[in-house]
Amino acid sequence: MRYCVLIMDGAAGWPLEQCGGRTCLEISRTPNLDAMVTGGQLGLARTVPGGFEPSSGCACMSILGYDPRIYYRGRGAIEARSMDVPMEKGDVAFRCNLVSIGDGRMLSYSCGYIDSGEAAQLIRTLDKATGNQDVHFYAGVSYRHLCKIQGHEETLLAECTPPHDIPNQPVAEFLPRGTGSEVLRDLMFRSQAVFHDHPVNVARRRRGEPPATMIWLFWGSGKAEDMPAFETVYGIRAALSSGVDLLGGLAKMAWIDVLDISGVTDDLDNDYRAQAEGSLMALDRYDLVVIHIEAPDEAAHAGSIDDKVRAIEQIDEKVVGRIRTLGDQGLRVLIMPDHPTPIQLQTHVGEPVPFLLWGPGFVPNGARRLTEREAQATGVFLEEGYNIMNLLTK
């Protein structure tokens, strides 16, 4: 038996008044998903345990079959693992976004999805100007980077707010606060002088693009420990494709191989067809492939209904459509979002998400579409979402 897991990051959401009380999943045209739902089992799963942050790190850990209550210790160090940043005892890692602030407000948590090459120039300059034996900055993808701090574990006690939670809001009241926050705030403020006249920002202003005015530190955690190897737990070899470091970090923690597929990105410019083809071709070498697509989540963070719907429809056409062609080859499939990202909030919530199990052994339960409402109507509910992998593979 072979298996495929498709994670549509942030695709779930809340009913939208401007869309007649329907969610983005409900208004999207998804003929391939619809056909699979009528032949599979639909339900709801809670991927974020109560009291945990509703992040993709926690939610995707559940989908991969690991209980966050046991293994989740924070997101920063998971991304460090993906980026091969060494973490020792006493080290802490923080997500380091490049953000654009104007008139004291958060104009863009991503600097308009800054190019990775430009971002790397900024991060290298920042590390040279402010880095030392205790502080190091590492360039990641687009606006997502990493700051490692040594000898200041108290920073983990600081109360930090993700920048995508505060679009267009005054930032002063959301800066790190409480114990350990002084170190974080100092680094953030010092980055402003480094970036102000940087050639990358000069060029971005000239082109009318949001400049990177400072860094924003959040999602701190200590060293991420390995989880039991996926092959040991489930008895099958797995590989994963994603455009974000977080999923690569989770894969490495579970000893899941990471696929390098050209054209896979973290945004709407993702090459969906290439990601589907490359991932499914890997089934010649692996028993299970995970396809993680970030685009719906990024669109929801930007508050764009049109872009979120477009991402869902592209996934249906170019990824789900390709998966369907393997239906006669004994493929078992799990398709689901990791968490909802409501357009109204432009950030994550920890509510249950719809899931679809399709393929040999899964009996249809009368559902017709992969939506929040139809999943709830089935009465199928998985309280401990990390058991979803057992349902797929056993």
Lowest mean pLDDT among 32-36, 77-81, 215-219, 310-314: 77-81
**Tokens 């950030």, residue?**
347
Kindly report, residue by residue over 195-243, the tens digit of the pLDDT.
Answer: 999 999 999 999 999 999 999 999 999 988 899 999 999 999 999 999 9
**Every domain of the chain and the residues it spans:** 2-72+226-393, 81-221
Q: Residue 358: what are its φ and ψ, rounded to 5°?
A: -140, 140
The C-alpha atoms of residue 60 and residue 337 are separated, in whole angstroms, by 9
- The two counts, helices (H) then strands (E), for the chain are 16, 13
Predicted TM-score (pTM) of the model is 0.90
User: How large is the average pLDDT for residues 376-383?
Assistant: 98
3-state secondary structure 205-230: HHHCCCCCCEEEEEEEECCCCCCCCH
Token couple for 191: 């980055």
What is the H or E stretch that residue 321 is in? helix 321-324
Torsion of CA 308, 312, 314, 315, to 10 degrees: 140
Residue 106's H or E segment, with its range, is strand 105-108
Q: Region 372-379: what's the mean pLDDT?
A: 98
| pLDDT confidence of residue 170 | 97
- Give 29: exposed, middle or buried? Use CB within 10 Å, 0-12, 13-18, 19+: exposed
Please report the pLDDT score of residue 328 as a whole number: 81
Residue 75 predicted with pLDDT over 90? no
Question: Regarding the domain with residue range 2-72+226-393, which homologous superfamily does it belong to in the CATH classification?
Answer: Alkaline Phosphatase, subunit A (3.40.720.10)
Residue 327 in this model has a pLDDT that exceeds 90: no
SS3 301: helix
